[in-house]
Structure 1
Amino acid sequence: MDDVSRLIYRTPAHEWVERLPLGNGALGAMLDGDLPTTRILLNEETAWSGSPSSERSGGVVSAERAAGLLSAAREAVGGDDPGAAAAALAPLQVPYSQAYLPLGELRLTRRGTSDAPGYRRALDLATGIHHVGLGGFDEHTFVSYTRGVLVHRIRGGGEAAWHLDSAHHVLARASGSDGAELQLRLPSDVAPTHEPQAVPVTWSDAPGDALEAAVVVGVRRDEGEILLVLAAETTFTDMGRPPEGSAADAAERARERVDAALEAGWSELAAEHTTEFAMRMSRCAVDLGSVPLSESGEELPTDIRLRRAQSAASGPLAEDPHLAQVLFDYGRYLLLSSSRPGGLPPTLQGIWNDTMQPPWSSNYTLNINMQMNHWAAHPTGLDESAEPLWDFISALAIAGTETAARLYGARGWVAHHNSDAWLLSSPVGAGHGDARWTAWPMAGPWLVLHIADAMGFGAIDSARLRRLWPAMHGVAMFLLDWVRPDGAGGWSSAPATSPENAFVMADGSIGAIDATTTMDLALAREALHAVAQVADRLGEGDDPVAVAALALARSLPGSPAVDGGLLREWARPRAEEDAHHRHVSHLVGLFPGTQPWDLPTRDAAAASLTRRGDESSGWSLIWKSVLWARLGRGDRAEDLLRLLFRDAAQVTGPWAGGLYPNLFAAHPPFQIDANLGYPAALAEMLLQSHDDLRLLPALPPSLAAGSARGLIARPGVIVDLTWRDRALVTASLRTRDERTRSVRVRSGASVLDVVLDAGSTVVLTASDFRAGARRSVGGGEF
């Protein structure tokens, strides 16, 4: 696994964004590597405030009142009065989602000092093992997915002392020579910081109002070594279901896992974890250059490399192209560490949050961020990390069915801007939320595109697809009720917004609600086509909803309207309030959409991206870079990456992205979507498969030579690439399954029709493409 990177530092972490993350999808840890005392900050994926009743705690509007409000909003839209439409919709809002919370911390004291010569801390991204070394002192830490525990071994540190603490209400505490235990009660409500009038944190002892939790530590001493094992549990049962049991019950479950792991011992635990983790990380890798070395021949620390690259006039990737590889490996590492089968999908901060009132509640934000979190799963070979998202979509579809019927009188299901582990599906804002982000009922159509993506990449079997069919079917029903002809030759999805942008009216007022938006129509078309494709796969092509979905999809416009050389964002030409807005929602049909756009529309997309500008938040930099990649502009994609690789601490502005010392990406502050989206963006620059299979379609100029292995293309093809001087050298193609597949492969202007027999590999070279006219390669008939 030498081709997967390491993060290396010569000093301990003093700030949270210098700590290094570990995780197994459920249990997260942030390590500072300090001596003599280290604080390991703990998270657990189910540690959310509130309960399923939180969404309705302030009351919800009745179906009768909602019908009147919706009618008033649509009438205002018809009169081009977006302000009145927003006022009509405001009572539909519930206050806010609940928050994902830190669980506690483990404080360890052992012998040594971190300012002594030779100190080193490192995170091996290939194995998910954190190491701190100094002279005779040595410790390793990992979080085992198989065992569900954090494992920490200390050698040469003398006797150790430990202490557990938490910001939650402590119900019981125990500590002794063989370990420690905390039993906790979490808050019944945590308000977001953008609701300053609300009580920040609320506690309740009433049964079912809040979760309880436990953290258990066990210790084993053996020939100068100390093995410490930690497990955490809560009374969370499943998404949308009430808590069950007590903190004592949670402690018993945690203790069983700790005891079993201690019995197994370090050697078995480490070998088991390394094999499991490395197997998944090794499926896909890129090689973009050598690691810079110091004068003594040692690998340069990551923070020093980052500062050197940031200050280089030639740009960070030209100075240190290997950093592009490090961030690719890190993004895949973070995805695997924060999203595993059977768990919850990663939040805005993944599974790593240190504050009781986190930014944007560290929730599920559904108008780009949750989607971006999963873009890399299939093209970079981490299909299992998409499974929690599939489970979330299935559960949210059930929760959102009542919301669709009550708020909109619609069949199917609906979700809006925010959600949480309790499956909130209502618009949020407490009655005063701005319509530009509250009045957006299109989360469902965007989310189900991930199911179609999984099918396209050959990442999901028919049995799992069958279980997801109700969610797909429900989205189609909602769209069939929501998207309708406007009576003038166009389409309406009113009340419609383009997240989170707004426009300027003729009188200078600001509006956000229109008859439809480019995003609404693009998502509807993509989702309806996806429903039809899944129906065909499952033998449901004659289902009346699937038939109607395909008919509506074919009726909707195939590409956005163009006005003055730019893509139209709303139902009619409008002047944006902010021409440089971070959201580029009107380009969703270009990416992650897969429908073909003609050249004039692509030119308008390029002009629209140029007008939006490059400067933006971390996740927006990623979205813009992948959009430029879809347009074949590797040079412009690199311009965005140059901004992403900036020092986040030195950049000013509310929407200025960059990287922190531990390579966490800034919104700002830290938000994980840019980290998780980056591998997908780089993969899209190297390989595209939304129509034909395109090799090196948007290679950044600074990555002139390199290789990639294990990239995944539609319709389930594994691709290895090598290139030099920005030109293809070889491409190796093989199928993921036992089916023979035909793919049309493009390199530059050349095209090859390739037949891939099951179990065989086709190797293409640059000379194959230089042969000129389209021709067939491979075993069978194309």
Structure 2
Amino acid sequence: MLIDKALKLFVCSVIMCLSVAAQTNGKERGIQNQTLWYDTPAANWLQALPLGNGSLGATVFGGTATERIQFNESSLVTGTTKVVGSYQPFGNIFIHWKHHTVGNYKRMLLLDQALHHTEYVADGIHFKHEYFISHPAKAMVMQISSEKPHSITANIVMKDAHQSFSVVQKNRISFKGLLGNQMKYEAILQVNSTGGRLIRTDSSIIVKNADKLTLTLVAGTSFRPYSGENWLGADPHDELVKRISRVSRQSYQELKKDHVNDFERLFSRVVFYLGETPGIPTNKRIEAYNKGQRDHALETLLFQYGRYLLISSSRKGGLPANLQGIWNDEYKPAWYSQYTTNINVQMNYWPAEVTNLAECHFPLFDWVENLAAVSKNSGDSVLKTTKGWIAYSTNNIMGGPSKWRLHRPGNAWMSQHFWEHYAFTNDTNFLRKRAYPMLKQLVEYWEGHLVERTDGKLVTPDGWSPEHGPHKNESDKSPYPGVSYDQQIVYDLFTNYLDAASVLNVEQSYRKKVEVMRAKLLGPQIGSGDSCRNGWKIGTILQIITVPL
């Protein structure tokens, strides 16, 4: 896989050169490419803009009659270590206004600072909403201000997505509940105003004639990460009360400064400038781009948006970004909105090292190690191995499987991320303690699972390519030997192991054995029409993937 490594080095070189070129033009020019903005509120969830701190996520609609903020917490999942379940929506905050005429509307997501702004003029008064979700504070903070004193009047409601009752006490609205898997969850919203007064009802807090309004949200569950079968932990209530009390002791400006400094520390590592930004809303730029209009600044914006989403959904010490990051408003989302190991979870983390976000990679490492432990200790006979471990195609935060289909090469593919982290950071301590043990046990698994053909070539006996077959349909679980997808992933695993062992200067005799096995692996085969065959089976040409040569 020398071409693969050379390509990665080339991409990194291009990114670094672009960054240096951008710096010579001044950071201010690069900043122009880092804002999504629109001149109307979101009409649906997919149009709402995402905020996140790695565990708490929110999508902001920016409404002027009713503002909706739908929120998630990364551990609210209905599954167990036995059943995959689904990632769940947590709740909604609604801010009901009594504006009559609204104009000069603009909502923005400032990627470089992870701030959501909404500005408009209502009944002749300029209003500004500013929201962020702080990783240092572990809370969402929202401030609404206006240019005219005593002009903020609103009715604030928070609702549980699972229909438990909200409770209003003093200046807080809260709800708590219990999922079917016995996971406890709770959210607390605190309302503070400058000027005016707060009026409590049975289900909401009414703000009357305030100068400024500040809302603080915290949410959590009883999930205990990376604990195998013991994933149910303490009730989140006490921790949430401590957290919101701690946040309350800081001013809004202090919270914002800590948040921006924390986020910029990661985001600002890459500046990418390819031209001036047109002064039109982002959705209209996309429409023009799809019609053929050149907009290189839109391309750099999407590049930085990808980095923004990874930072916002994957922070050290937390869970990895799932199929939808940490944002979901459905009870039965596609593929459970969990972790699919036949490309999706890997794809989430392809930008981690190459765009200088190595710290964001660690939740994936933690999750893979836990998945390995859960799979090894599972009572499921399908997962039994003498060495190493294997897993099903889709698994949840606890390591629980969907059991739709076993996906053997997923273990090797995920281990590639361990090696990549070392390759980009030269962290030999990580290599020795985490990457090498993972690579070694999986090489040992594949050593025992490969079979030798009559011509001496080693093939995987029971493969399938998730996107290209060769299975006839999703219910076809027939074994297909030598599928190219499997063969290349195993080749990559062997190569990464050999490189790791060489760096650490360990197990020379076993390295020689792995070198022999790698050399005997069946490589890509050319089929009819100069295309790459997707697999090998005696007497049969399997499905063809067209690859221009």
The Cα shift of 1:365 comes to 0.7
Q: Does 1:606 align with 2:548?
A: yes
The Cα shift of 1:606 comes to 2.5
Task: Label 1:403 to 1:476 Cα distance change in 2 as closer, same or farther (>3 A).
Answer: farther
| Aligned equivalents of 2:426, 2:60: Cα separation in 1 | 34
Q: For 1:93-492, list aligned pairs within 5 A.
A: 97-110=84-97, 112=99, 116-135=102-121, 136-156=126-146, 158-168=152-162, 170=164, 173-186=166-179, 188=180, 209-223=181-195, 224-239=211-226, 240-245=228-233, 249-292=235-278, 299-311=279-291, 315-316=292-293, 319-402=294-377, 406-407=381-382, 409-424=385-400, 428-429=403-404, 438-458=405-425, 460-463=427-430, 465-492=432-459
Q: Which residue of 1 aligns with 2:485?
A: 519
Q: Does 1:534 align with 2:500?
A: yes
| Aligned equivalents of 2:451, 2:120: Cα separation in 1 | 68
| Aligned equivalents of 2:432, 2:270: Cα separation in 1 | 25
- Deviation per CA, 1:648-679: give whole Å up to 9, x if none: xxxxxxxxxxxxxxxxxxxxxxxxxxxxxxxx
Tell me which of 553, 560, 579 is aligned to 2:524: 560
For structure 2, which runs of at least 5 residues remain unmatched after alignment? 1-26, 196-210
Q: Are the aligned partners of 2:107 and 2:119 in contact in 1 as well (CA < 8 Å)?
A: yes
Task: Label 1:502 to 1:380 Cα distance change in 2 as closer, same or farther (>3 A).
Answer: closer
| Aligned equivalents of 1:605, 1:290: Cα separation in 2 | 36
For structure 1, which runs of at least 5 residues remain unmatched after alignment? 56-96, 189-208, 293-298, 430-437, 585-603, 608-782
| 1:227 match: secondary structure | strand
Task: Label 1:479 to 1:310 Cα distance change in 2 as closer, same or farther (>3 A).
Answer: same
| 2:141 match: secondary structure | strand
| 1:287 match: secondary structure | coil
| Aligned equivalents of 1:309, 1:448: Cα separation in 2 | 38
Which one-letter code corresponds to 1:486 in the other structure? Answer: R
Q: Which residue of 2 aligns with 1:756?
A: none
Q: Does 1:12 align with 2:44?
A: no
Percent identity reads: 26
| Aligned equivalents of 1:448, 1:537: Cα separation in 2 | 17
Q: Are the aligned partners of 2:231 and 2:398 in contact in 1 as well (CA < 8 Å)?
A: no
Q: Are the aligned partners of 1:452 and 1:530 in contact in 2 as well (CA < 8 Å)?
A: yes
TM-score under structure 1 length normalisation: 0.60
Q: Are the aligned partners of 1:10 and 1:119 in contact in 2 as well (CA < 8 Å)?
A: yes
Which one-letter code corresponds to 2:244 in the other structure? Answer: V
| Aligned equivalents of 1:232, 1:405: Cα separation in 2 | 34
Task: Label 1:461 to 1:490 Cα distance change in 2 as closer, same or farther (>3 A).
Answer: closer
| Aligned equivalents of 1:15, 1:305: Cα separation in 2 | 19
The Cα shift of 1:541 comes to 3.3
Q: Are the aligned partners of 2:464 and 2:470 in contact in 1 as well (CA < 8 Å)?
A: no
| 1:533 match: secondary structure | helix
Q: Are the aligned partners of 2:393 and 2:410 in contact in 1 as well (CA < 8 Å)?
A: yes
Task: Label 1:109 to 1:519 Cα distance change in 2 as closer, same or farther (>3 A).
Answer: same
Q: Are the aligned partners of 1:404 and 1:411 in contact in 2 as well (CA < 8 Å)?
A: no
Q: Which residue of 2 aligns with 1:35?
A: 64
| Aligned equivalents of 2:130, 2:513: Cα separation in 1 | 57
Tell me the C-alpha RMSD between the 2 structures.
2.5
Paired residues in the alignment total 491
- Deviation per CA, 1:439-482: give whole Å up to 9, x if none: 43111000001111111112645146513433222211111111
| Aligned equivalents of 2:428, 2:55: Cα separation in 1 | 25
Q: Are the aligned partners of 2:533 and 2:542 in contact in 1 as well (CA < 8 Å)?
A: no
| 1:280 match: secondary structure | helix
The Cα shift of 1:555 comes to 3.0
- Deviation per CA, 1:214-245: give whole Å up to 9, x if none: 10111222352221110111000013343435
| 1:285 match: secondary structure | coil
Task: Label 1:387 to 1:119 Cα distance change in 2 as closer, same or farther (>3 A).
Answer: same
| Aligned equivalents of 1:391, 1:439: Cα separation in 2 | 21
| Aligned equivalents of 2:458, 2:109: Cα separation in 1 | 52
| Aligned equivalents of 1:104, 1:264: Cα separation in 2 | 25
| 1:219 match: secondary structure | strand
| Aligned equivalents of 2:259, 2:521: Cα separation in 1 | 50
Task: Label 1:118 to 1:39 Cα distance change in 2 as closer, same or farther (>3 A).
Answer: same
| Aligned equivalents of 2:312, 2:241: Cα separation in 1 | 22
Task: Label 1:245 to 1:382 Cα distance change in 2 as closer, same or farther (>3 A).
Answer: closer
| Aligned equivalents of 1:323, 1:484: Cα separation in 2 | 49
Task: Label 1:284 to 1:241 Cα distance change in 2 as closer, same or farther (>3 A).
Answer: farther
Task: Label 1:111 to 1:131 Cα distance change in 2 as closer, same or farther (>3 A).
Answer: farther
| Aligned equivalents of 2:505, 2:175: Cα separation in 1 | 52
| 2:249 match: secondary structure | helix
| 1:376 match: secondary structure | helix
Which one-letter code corresponds to 1:231 in the other structure? Answer: V
| Aligned equivalents of 1:125, 1:374: Cα separation in 2 | 19
| Aligned equivalents of 1:419, 1:368: Cα separation in 2 | 13
Q: Which residue of 2 aligns with 1:591?
A: none
Task: Label 1:104 to 1:547 Cα distance change in 2 as closer, same or farther (>3 A).
Answer: farther
Task: Label 1:109 to 1:464 Cα distance change in 2 as closer, same or farther (>3 A).
Answer: farther
Q: Which residue of 1 aligns with 2:203?
A: none
Task: Label 1:49 to 1:19 Cα distance change in 2 as closer, same or farther (>3 A).
Answer: same
The Cα shift of 1:522 comes to 1.0
When structure 1 is superposed on structure 2, of 467-476 and 356-365 the one drifting more is: 467-476
When structure 1 is superposed on structure 2, of 490-499 and 277-286 the one drifting more is: 490-499
Which one-letter code corresponds to 1:139 in the other structure? Answer: H
| Aligned equivalents of 1:280, 1:173: Cα separation in 2 | 37
- Deviation per CA, 1:422-449: give whole Å up to 9, x if none: 1135x723xxxxxxxx243111000001
| Aligned equivalents of 2:391, 2:363: Cα separation in 1 | 17
| Aligned equivalents of 1:398, 1:382: Cα separation in 2 | 27
Q: For 1:681-720, list aligned pairs within 5 A.
A: none
| Aligned equivalents of 1:45, 1:347: Cα separation in 2 | 8
Q: Are the aligned partners of 1:151 and 1:229 in contact in 2 as well (CA < 8 Å)?
A: yes
Q: Does 1:569 align with 2:534?
A: yes
Which one-letter code corresponds to 1:26 in the other structure? Answer: S
TM-score under structure 2 length normalisation: 0.84
| Aligned equivalents of 2:233, 2:335: Cα separation in 1 | 29
Which one-letter code corresponds to 1:477 in the other structure? Answer: E
Q: Are the aligned partners of 2:470 and 2:534 in contact in 1 as well (CA < 8 Å)?
A: no
Q: Which residue of 1 aligns with 2:3?
A: none
Q: Are the aligned partners of 1:498 and 1:512 in contact in 2 as well (CA < 8 Å)?
A: no
| Aligned equivalents of 1:476, 1:527: Cα separation in 2 | 7
Which one-letter code corresponds to 2:96 in the other structure? Answer: T
| 1:46 match: secondary structure | coil
| 1:377 match: secondary structure | helix
The Cα shift of 1:504 comes to 8.3
